[in-house]
Amino acid sequence: MVTWSNFFSQLFNGLALGALLALISSGLTIIYGTLGVLNLAHGAMFMLGGYAGYVAYERSGSFVVALIAGTLFLLVVGIVMERVIIRHFYKRPPEDQLLVTFGLSICFVETVRYFFSSLSKTVPAPAVFSGITNLGFMFYPTYRLAVVGIVALALIALFLVLYKTRLGLIVRAGIEDSVMVDSLGVNVDRVFMLVFGIGAMAAGFAGIVNAPVVSLAPDMGEAILVQTFVVVVIGGVGSFPGAVLGGLVAGEIISITSMFNPGYAYVMLFAAMALVLMVRPHGLLGVKGRE
């Protein structure tokens, strides 16, 4: 199957795949970079966003409403989660943080399973983006093309928040040295809450954007979580540009490998991660000394 036309098709497909991975991973990496909490519930939050969007879609019939509802719902979930549970774990050992977020993810998944069963749920793509587009070298689902644009906009928005606002300045400073930021009199507590909320919101947004591509199921977050970890490790833990780059690299690796032998697509992804860890232990865009 190694032909030029397939190569370009796969190259392009890798971009689309990578864009989604980048969006999901950016939420994970911001939370980890700022708060030092590795959020194992991130996959479940991605799933929750999808289901919240699904419920909103069923009620309203509008994809835009679903998008807003899914995103806001996760902002609220994130803030509540941080205030009620996560903040008590900032000073506890990392394994406690892993366990509490992992436990939360089980609660989220099984709650959704209880109400919606395991049967998959579908949110159709908005009418303007339904159908297939002829790219010349291949036919591609129009909605997936739109996803690339939507994700690009979302990533730009995140970029602006992180690099052009006071909050972003504090967040980035916090990633580098949270003790120093604290001692400079910044209210780290409130910033942490907002960061967790924004990270959750990114997961929720990705969840509903992804829903027309991959229909919803309660444990869909599990596989995504593993992939986002790979993306974050490749890109550099805690690095927002790293998550974007890592996502695109991962998307291309999966796509291009599957052109030669699909059975090795994920093997190559993990091999690439191992290689990055050996050559650049802090990831492609990571910086030594970050927590």
Partner 1 sequence: MKDRNTTMHGRRDFMRAGLTVAGGLALPAGFATRAFAATRGPLGTWPAGVEGDTVYIGAAVPRTGAYAVQGEDELKGMQLAVEHINEGHELVRKIAPRLKKGVLGKKVELLVADSGAKPNEAVQAQQRFINENKIIAMTGSTSSAVAVALNKFAQRQKVLYLVAISGSNDTTGKDCARYSFRQCFYGQTAASAIGPVLIKNFGKNKKAAFMTPDYTYGHTVTKSVNDYLSSHAGWQMVTNQVSPLGTSDFSSYLTNIANSGAEFIINVNWGRDAVLSIQQAKQFGLTPKMKMVIPYQIPFLAKEVGPELTEGVYAATDFWWTLEDKYPLAKMFVEAFDKKYGYRPEWGANNAYMQFAIWARMVEEAGSFYPPDVIKAYEKGETFESTVGKVHFRAADHQLVRPVIIVRGKKPSEMRNKEDYWEVTEVVPGAPLMQKPDEFGCELGDYT
Q: How far apart are CA 248 and CA 203, in angstroms?
A: 17
Cα angle for residues 135, 138, 141 (degrees, 5° grid): 75
Tell me the closest approach of the beta carbon of residue 169 to partner 1, in angstroms: 36
From 167, 214, 284, 287, residue interacting with partner 1 (rule: CB under 8 A): 214
Backbone φ and ψ for 141, nearest 5 degrees, come out as -60, 130
Question: Residue ranges of the alpha helices (H) in the chain?
Answer: 4-35, 42-60, 63-84, 94-116, 142-164, 166-176, 178-183, 188-210, 220-235, 240-260, 265-279
119 or 279: whose CB is closer to partner 1?
Answer: 119
Interaction between residue 274 and partner 1 (CB under 8 A):
no
Per-position x/- string for 35-74, each x denoting binding to partner 1 as judged by CB under 8 A, each - no binding:
----------------------------------------
Query: Residue 222, interface with partner 1 (CB under 8 A)?
Result: yes
Q: How far apart are CA 27 and CA 87, in angstroms?
A: 17
Per CB under 8 A, the list member of 136, 185, 263, 289 interacting with partner 1 is: 263
Helices 220-235 and 240-260, packing angle to 10 deg: 110
Min separation Cβ 97 and partner 1, Å? 12
216: β partners: 121
Contact 164, 158 (CB under 8 A): no
d(CA 180, CA 228): 29
- Nearest distance from C-beta of residue 191 to partner 1, angstroms: 30
Q: Which of 254, 272, 276, 285 binds partner 1 (CB under 8 A)?
A: 254
Question: Backbone dihedral region of 18: left (phi > 0), alpha (psi from -120 to 50 degrees) or beta?
Answer: alpha
- One residue of 90, 116, 159, 266 binding partner 1 per CB under 8 A: 266
Between 119 and 138, how does the x/- string for binding to partner 1 read (CB under 8 A)?
Answer: xx-x---------x-----x
Handedness of CA 46, 49, 55, 59 (dihedral sign): negative
Task: For 163-188, give the DSSP string.
Answer: HHSHHHHHHHHHHH-HHHHHHTT--H
Size, binding site for partner 1 by CB under 8 A? 48
Closer to partner 1 by Cβ: residue 130 or 165: 130
Verify binding: residue 106, partner 1, rule CB under 8 A. yes
Q: How far is the CB of 277 from partner 1 (least distance, A)?
A: 17
Q: How far is the CB of 133 from partner 1 (least distance, A)?
A: 9
Label residue 126 left, alpha or beta by phi (over 0 means left) and psi (-120 to 50 means alpha). beta
Answer for which of 84, 91, 95, 136 binds partner 1 (CB under 8 A) is 95
Q: How far is the CB of 102 from partner 1 (least distance, A)?
A: 6
What gap in Å lies between CA 269 and CA 9, rounded to an integer? Answer: 19
Does position 116 bind partner 1 by CB under 8 A? no
Under the rule (CB under 8 A), what is the footprint of partner 1?
1, 3, 5-6, 9-10, 13-14, 16-17, 95, 99, 102-103, 106, 109, 113, 117-120, 122, 132, 138-141, 143-144, 213-215, 217-220, 222-224, 254-255, 258-259, 261-263, 265-266
